[in-house]
């Protein structure tokens, strides 16, 4: 089955419409998604505005970079410990 991609701003707009009282069936029909997908979006993006979503994505990217940096430093630390143990 073909996977449709919707922009995050479109998803947030749809979730906000759902919370405002627009029928779920109408939104699903317009976006060509299932009710389950719409409610998954609501769980994930409920209460967010587009600007908040952009900030969230930036923070997630920064968090991923920091995790990668930590992993590299932990590996370097482990290598140095092994070298020191071999010298003693």
Asked whether the beta carbons of 76 and 83 are under 8 A apart, the reply is: no
Please give the average per-residue pLDDT across 18-36, as a whole number.
93
Q: State how many domains the chain has.
A: 2
* 42 and 63 fall within a common domain: no
Q: What is the pTM of this model?
A: 0.61
Residues of the domain holding 9: 1-48
CB atoms under 10 Å from CB of 57, counted, come to: 11
* 33 and 63 fall within a common domain: no
pLDDT at 2 over 90: no
* 87 and 44 fall within a common domain: no
* 41 and 4 fall within a common domain: yes
pLDDT tens for each residue of 30-77: 999 999 999 999 998 888 888 888 898 899 999 999 999 999 999 999
HEC sequence for 10-45: HHHHHHHHHHHCCCHHHHHHHHCCCHHHHHHHHHHH
* 40 and 60 fall within a common domain: no
pLDDT at 5 over 70: yes
Which pLDDT band, with edges at 50, 70 and 90, does 7 fall under? confident
Provide the pLDDT for residue 63.
Answer: 98
């Amino acid at each position: 089955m073909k996977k449709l991609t919707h922009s995050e701003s479109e998803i947030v707009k749809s979730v906000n419409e759902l919370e405002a009282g627009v029928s779920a069936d109408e939104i699903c029909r317009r976006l060509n998604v299932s009710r389950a997908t719409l409610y998954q979006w609501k769980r994930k993006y409920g209460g967010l505005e587009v600007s908040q979503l952009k900030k969230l994505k930036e923070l997630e990217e920064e968090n991923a970079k920091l995790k990668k940096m930590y992993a590299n430093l932990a590996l370097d630390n482990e290598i140095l410990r092994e070298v020191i143990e071999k010298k003693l």
